[in-house]
Amino acid sequence: MRILLAAVFISILNQSAFSQTKSASKSYLEEAANLTREKSVLAAFAEIERLNPQTLQELIELNEIPAPPFKETNRGLAYKSMLEEAGGVKVWIDSVGNVLALRKGRTGKRLIALDGHLDTVFPEGTDVKVKLKGDTLFAPGIGDNTRGLMVVLTVLRAMEKASIETEDDVLFVATVGEEGNGDLRGVKHLLWEIRFQN
C-alpha cells in the first residue's frame, strides 16, 4: 500500500515521471522508495491513517447513495461537499456531471488528473446498504468503485494536511458514465475539455 501511494505521490510530484520509459522503471521505483522517506510524504501517510475512521464512515455514506449509470447526480453532490471540505481547492461540476477539484501547483505547466468514477454497474433499485461482517464491509459497489472515490478524496486531504507543494496542477475528479452504456462519457468529456480549453 505504501509503495502504491508513493507511486501516486511520485506521479504528482515528479515532472519527469510520466515521460519515463520502461527501462527507467528501476529508478522510478527507487525514487518512489526515496519519497516514502520524505518528511512531507510521511506526514501525508500519517494523515491517511489518522483519517481512516472518517474515510470508512464516508465510504459507507457514499456507497448508500445509489448511482446507477446516468443517475449519478445525488452521489456527485455529496462528493462535491466532501471535496469542498478538504479545502484549498476550487470545486465544480461540469456540464456532464463530473465533479472536479483543482489544486494549483507552483508552475501549473501541466495538469495531472487523479480520477475515480461515480457510477456503479448495478441497476436502479439494487440494495446498496452496507453490511459489516467481521471486519469487512459488504455492499454492491463498495470496492468498485466507491472505494476509488475515497482514495481520490483522501489523497487530496492528505496533501492539504501535509502542505505538499507540486509543480503541476492536480485535478481530483469523479467522473460519470464509466460503466456499461455510460461508455466512459465522463472521462471522454474531461479529456475533450482539457484538450480544447487549455
Ligand X SMILES: *[C@@H]1O[C@H](CO)[C@@H](O)[C@H](O)[C@H]1NC(C)=O
Task: Decide: is 34 part of the binding site for ligand X (CB under 6 A).
Answer: yes
Nearer to ligand X, 30 or 84 (CB): 30
58 is catalytic: no
Which range binds ligand X by CB under 6 A, 24-32, 78-86, 89-97, 106-114?
24-32
Residue located via cell numbers 466532501: 82
Contact predicate 108/168, CB 8 Å = yes
Residue nearest to ligand X (CB): 34
Cell numbers representing residue 169 in the block: 496542477
Q: Report d(CA 144, CA 75) in Å as an integer.
A: 15
Task: Decide: is 31 part of the binding site for ligand X (CB under 6 A).
Answer: yes
Select the residue interacting with ligand X from 15, 18, 30, 163 (CB under 6 A). Answer: 30
**One-letter amino acid identity for 186?**
G
Q: Which of 115, 119, 168, 169 is catalytic?
A: 119
119 is catalytic: yes
Contact predicate 86/106, CB 8 Å = no
Nearer to ligand X, 25 or 34 (CB): 34
Which range binds ligand X by CB under 6 A, 30-38, 84-92, 150-158, 190-198?
30-38
Contact predicate 41/161, CB 8 Å = no
**How big is the CA angle at 85 (ends 198 and 150), to the nearest 5 degrees?**
80
Q: Which of 58, 115, 178, 179 is catalytic?
A: 178
Q: Report d(CA 116, CA 119) in Å as an integer.
A: 9
**Could you list the active site residues?**
119, 178
Can you give the binding site for ligand X, defined by CB under 6 A?
A: 27, 30-31, 34
